[in-house]
Amino acid sequence: MRGAVLYGPRDVRFEERDEPRISKPTDAVIRIAAACVCGSDLWPYRGIQPVDQPTAFGHEYCGVVEEVGSSVTKVKPGQFVVGSFFASDNTCPICQAGYQSSCVQREIVLGAQAGRLRVPLADGTLVATPGMPSEDLIPSLLAASDVLGTGWFAADAANVKPGGTAVVVGDGAVGLLAVLSAKQMGAGRIIAMSRHQARQKLAREFGATEIVTERGDAGVARIKELTAGLGAESVLECVGTQESMMQAIRAARPGGHVSYVGVPHGVQLDGAGLFFAHVHLHGGPAPVRQYLPHLIDLIWNRKINPGKVFDLTLPIEQVAEGYRAMDERRAIKALLRPEARP
Ligand SMILES: [Zn+2]
């Protein structure tokens, strides 16, 4: 089987890898229906987060179960399933509280930019769709695996409420789907911070009511202007840089909620600044598993179309071009079509 392997900065290769197989009785092996490149893959791709050895990449997946381990009872071969980037048992106290991405047994799922994938803790991790999806639903189901689930968590953790005002910092796939999620949760105003025209357009399609192109101090000033000088009740930080984090905290009103779902890189917060900001901060790796049943239902019944974030489709052997296009911001998100089965 061939799959994507990251060797170092800007060096992604599509090459022969070991065939995934059941190594624990709780595993499943799935045949990937579609794979993609994540914004968070760009951190190691750019060398900001070093990789010390060649690493199989890709952590967003959906596909058909081919094989399950001897103790797997809920998931069956032939089912179409969606899972998240952290495998979880979905039974421990942390999972029960809705934080499956911090499950006591959690395991990172890697290697999804390939034809097949081993998924640990299959019973807790994978959620089956009601049947075999039609081709046009696959991009949206793939989006549910990470970017939609993460955008949904951003809206949930920022306490988006019907009629409330939500500000979304970041116009990558997660930011755009955070807009969609805030819309689904009934936000009355959704202000998307974006300076990129194609992304602004998609943000509006997903439910943004206003666009703010300024960033930093000017961006915060603009949000204050739009909210009677107060700041927003909910701010969703979907980038992970110092600038975006500060922009989010400062755009929130005292008593407001700030969520942060972009993997932080070099973010440092000042204690006194945080103290006087008087905001609720809640973020982390999104517990996508918690939301999957609901998200699959919304997609299955065509209430939402998160698959629109994929604006580039490539055969998987051109995975390196997918990384390049996203790195250069030529594409919002690249979908990778698996190789034809031998
Ligand atoms: Zn757990």
119: CA distance to ligand 1 center in Å?
15
Closest Cα to residue 190, out of 217, 218, 174, 166? Answer: 166
Please check the confidence at residue 341 and state whether its pLDDT lies above 80. Answer: no
Q: Angle of helix 147-157 relative to helix 288-300, nearest 10 degrees?
A: 110
Q: What number does CATH give the domain 2-146+287-337?
A: 3.90.180.10
Please check the confidence at residue 2 and state whether its pLDDT lies above 90. Answer: yes
SS3 128: strand
Structure letter (DSSP) for residue 218: H
Topology alike, domains 2-146+287-337 and 150-283: no
217: CA distance to ligand 1 center in Å?
41
118: CA distance to ligand 1 center in Å?
18
| Ion ligand 1: protein residues whose beta carbon lies under 5 Å | 88-89, 92, 95, 103
96: CA distance to ligand 1 center in Å?
7
Mean pLDDT of all residues belonging to the chain: 96
Stated length of the chain: 342
Show Cβ contacts of residue 290 under 8 Å, excluding neighbours closer than 6 positions.
98, 99, 100
- Contact between 309 and 332 under an 8 Å Cβ cutoff? The reply is yes
267: CA distance to ligand 1 center in Å?
28
Write phi, then psi, for 145 (nearest 5 degrees): -60, -30
Confidence band for 342, pLDDT divided at 50, 70 and 90: very low
What are the respective helix, strand and coil percentages of the chain, to the nearest 5?
A: 35, 25, 40
261: CA distance to ligand 1 center in Å?
20
Show Cβ contacts of residue 155 under 8 Å, excluding neighbours closer than 6 positions.
166, 178, 181, 182, 184, 185, 187, 234, 236, 259
313: CA distance to ligand 1 center in Å?
34
Q: How many helices (H) and strands (E) does the chain have?
A: 12, 18
223: CA distance to ligand 1 center in Å?
39
- Contact between 246 and 268 under an 8 Å Cβ cutoff? The reply is no
280: CA distance to ligand 1 center in Å?
25
122: CA distance to ligand 1 center in Å?
12
What would the pLDDT profile of 206-238 be if each residue is shown by its tens digit?
999 999 999 999 999 999 999 999 999 999 999
N-term to C-term CA, the chain: 10
121: CA distance to ligand 1 center in Å?
10
97: CA distance to ligand 1 center in Å?
9
What would the pLDDT profile of 35-84 be if each residue is shown by its tens digit?
999 988 898 999 988 888 999 999 999 999 999 999 999 999 999 999 99
Q: Tell me how far apart the alpha carbons of residues 132 and 128 are, in angstroms, rounded to a whole number.
A: 9
More confident residue, 303 or 44: 303
**Across residues 175-181, what is the average pLDDT?**
98
302: CA distance to ligand 1 center in Å?
30
| CA distances, 173 to each of 87, 149, 282 (Å) | 22, 11, 20
124: CA distance to ligand 1 center in Å?
8
- Contact between 195 and 249 under an 8 Å Cβ cutoff? The reply is no
120: CA distance to ligand 1 center in Å?
12
133: CA distance to ligand 1 center in Å?
28
What would the pLDDT profile of 277-301 be if each residue is shown by its tens digit?
999 999 999 999 999 999 999 999 9
Architecture of domain 150-283: 3-Layer(aba) Sandwich (3.40)
236: CA distance to ligand 1 center in Å?
26
Q: Tell me how far apart the alpha carbons of residues 52 and 63 are, in angstroms, rounded to a whole number.
A: 30
Please check the confidence at residue 185 and state whether its pLDDT lies above 90. Answer: yes
Residue with tokens 């019944």: 301
What would the pLDDT profile of 117-175 be if each residue is shown by its tens digit?
999 999 999 999 999 999 999 999 999 999 999 999 999 999 999 999 999 999 999 99
The domain segmentation of the chain, as residue ranges, is: 2-146+287-337, 150-283
84: CA distance to ligand 1 center in Å?
13
